[in-house]
A and B are shown apart, each in its own frame.
Chain A
C-alpha cells in the first residue's frame, strides 16, 4: 500500500515527507510507545514497516532511521514538536498524524490488508569474548 493511501485511510495529516507519499510502499506495521521494543523486535528487512506510536519526541525518528522504517504514524491527536518533524524531513521519513487512537489506527490498517510486522528471531548465537 502506498503511504498516501495509509494517510487517507486514517484521515491523517502529513507532517513530513509529502514528496515521498507516492514512492513509499508499506506492507506491515508495529505499534509501540517503547522505542526499546521497536529496536528489539521489529525485523524490517524489506523496509516496508509502519511504526504506529503515541509518543512524539525525535527519538521516534531516530528509531525509524536505524531500522529503515519509512513511515511513522503519530496517533491520538498528539502534537508533534517541530524538531521531530524537522529531523524526519531531513532523514526522508514520512510522519502522519491522526486523531484516531492506536487501537483504531491499527484496526483500520489491518482491515485494509496491512499485516503485523515480522519479528526478529531472538538469536542465542551471540557469545562473550
Chain B
C-alpha cells in the first residue's frame, strides 16, 4: 500500500547543537519552495519541522529529520535516540515542559512544541520508548489548504 515518495531527503541532527538549530528546517523549506508547493502549506510544514528539529536538539542525543513529498501530501519523520517521553499525554499538554534552562534562554522549551505540531498537521503520530528514543510522524495534506 505504501506509495513511493516523489522526493525523500534526510537530515542529521545532533543533540545540544543549538548553534545549528533550524538549519535542517531551513533546507526543508527551500526544497518545498523549489517544488512550488502552496505557501501556506510550506509554512505549516516548516513550523512542524522547526519544532521537531528543536525538540531533537533540546532533548535527544542525536536524530534525523526526514522530508518525504508525495503527490497528495507531505510527510515529516523526526526520529531520535534519546530519553523518550514517559507520558505522552502530559507532553501534549500546552505549557508542560521538561526543557533545560539553556533551551528556555533561546526562547524554546515552553511546552508548546508538540501541541503546535499537532495543530499544524493533518495527522500526527508519536512512538516513544523511555531511554531509547522517539519517533514523530507528521502528515500535511496538499489539497487541504487553510
* A62 and B26 in contact, given A36-B107, A40-B119 (Cβ under 8 angstroms): yes
> Across the A-B interface, how many residue pairs have beta carbons closer than 8 Å?
99
Chain A residues within 8 Å of chain B by Cβ, number: 34
Cβ contact of A39, chosen from B18, B29, B116, cutoff 8 A: B116
Q: How extensive is the interface on chain B, given as a class? A: 35 or more
Question: Do A55 and B106 touch across chains, with their CB atoms under 8 A apart?
Answer: yes
Q: Which of B118-146 contact A (CB under 8 A)?
A: 118-125, 137, 146
Closest to A32 in B: B107
A67 to B29, CA, bound (A): 10
* Interface SS of B by simple majority: helix
Report whether A126 and B123 are in contact in the complex, using a CB–CB cutoff of 8 Å: yes
Q: Is A86 at the interface (CB under 8 A from chain B)?
A: no
Using an 8 Å CB-CB cutoff, how does the interface string of B103-118 with A read, 1 for contact, 0 for none? Answer: 0011111111101101
Is B59 an interface position by the 8 A CB rule?
A: no
A-contacting residues of B (Cβ < 8 Å)?
Answer: 18-19, 21-22, 25-26, 29, 39-40, 43, 46-47, 49-51, 54, 105-113, 115-116, 118-125, 137, 146
